[in-house]
Amino acid sequence: MGEAQRQGTGRPDDGAPAGGQAAAGGQAAGGRSAQLAHTGLRPGWTTGACATAASTAAYTALLTGEFPDPVTITLPKGQTPSFALAVEEFDADSGSAMAGVVKDAGDDPDVTHGALIRARVRSLPPGSGVVFRAGPGVGTVTRPGLPLDVGEPAINPVPRQMMREHLTEVARRYGGAAEPGTEPAPERGHEPDVEVEISVDHGEEIARSTWNPRLGILGGLSILGTTGIVVPYSCSAWIDSIRRGVDVARAAGRTHVAGCTGSTSEKVAVALHHLPEDALLDMGDFAGAVLKYVRRHPVDRLTICGGFAKLSKLAAGHLDLHSARSQVDKAFLAELAREGGADQALAEAVAAANTGLGALQLCAAAGVPLGDLVAARARDESLAVLRGAPVAVDVICIDRAGMVVGRAEPRGPGGGGRR
């Protein structure tokens, strides 16, 4: 669902803390941190971070009778932003409390900037755990191929986990955990028994400007975010920051750099290749910018790592991977699947798949290595853009959970590559 909502880069959220909260230890000399700072743009908060803040405030009020304002949360990378409450409502008769936060997307042209995100928390019987509901303005998944089951509210896995963790902490602090003598289910730990309904004012109307309807997410927006932070988008600023990243890596003597589409792919590249921070490039959607600059300022080896759907666009010849400017071509994926041994029925199913992830899942079930085929084609397209520059290229495709679903070994005239 990551590309369904953003009107900026469309890449997974990542970056420096917003709201003037500097990262501990200052900015690094190179790599992602310095690259983000170089854009000069103000980061913002994801819908997932806002929903976490609102639900934390609402549950605190449900247990104590008082809304914390501002409410402070902890993001996956350790930042602790505070959010002012825009609305609050306590209903003792129904056993619920509601709090709302206005989303600030910073300098990113995000359609959800200024949206009021509400969370209503209700007590449930013991053993229920945390149950998520889609309120007005939040969509429901109606087609397979997304990281949520059909029928689920469009609240992505990381925001769900953030909310569970914060509600569990509130329960521990104020006595809202399982009743004494009651053992919680092992898969739930000590999380409370509550229903969390997330809603977005005018969300259904806003969602018409996103890809949600086409993806089968109906009734409103998605609640998104992998780090809680929205990285602002500017073509010129971002491409300039990529160039700076390459320059810093070369000046530091790095011979192997990685262009990554977001924070999850960066972690995978580091885990597989043990690269230092100043060898990491936040490529985002701008694969062409990386390749063209490395063509003029070569390094021995370039690793490209990103989500399967995005890299399928590169494989099809697109150098700008933003969802507003290039689409996942299911017919192209079907042709690749045929090359990998798919029969006619599977190829037709791939062509009709709802998403790139859905196509990948179909092929995986049939033993067709679509991820490897996309990686190999993306590598070959990259080498074509490099036009014989002394750079070897390898490609890593991942899914939304960060699992490697396709790889292409290094090839090209650079060090470590095979011609």
Between CA 405 and CA 342 the distance in angstroms is 17
Q: Which two tokens stand for residue 182?
A: 């009651």
Q: What is the Cα gyration radius of the chain?
A: 22
Between CA 255 and CA 251 the distance in angstroms is 10
Backbone angles phi, psi at 306, to 5 degrees: -175, 180
Taking the alpha carbons of 11, 13, 17, 18 in that order, is the dihedral positive or negative? positive
Angle (nearest 5°) at CA 210 between 207 and 212: 75
Q: Is 347 exposed, middle or buried (0-12, 13-18, 19+ CB in 10 A)?
A: buried
Which tens digit of pLDDT belongs to each residue from 321-370? 766 566 889 999 999 999 999 999 999 999 999 889 899 999 999 999 99
What is the average pLDDT value for the chain, to the nearest integer?
84
- pLDDT < 70 stretches in the chain: 1-39, 176-189, 214, 231-237, 322-326, 416-419
SS3 category, 310:
helix
Residue 270 zone, left/alpha/beta (φ > 0; ψ -120 to 50; rest): alpha
CB 336 within 8 A of CB 290: no
**H-helix or E-strand spanning residue 403:** none
CB 224 within 8 A of CB 11: no
Question: What pLDDT score was predicted for residue 401?
Answer: 86
Angle (nearest 5°) at CA 251 between 247 and 255: 90
Stated length of the chain: 419
Question: What pLDDT score was predicted for residue 6?
Answer: 35
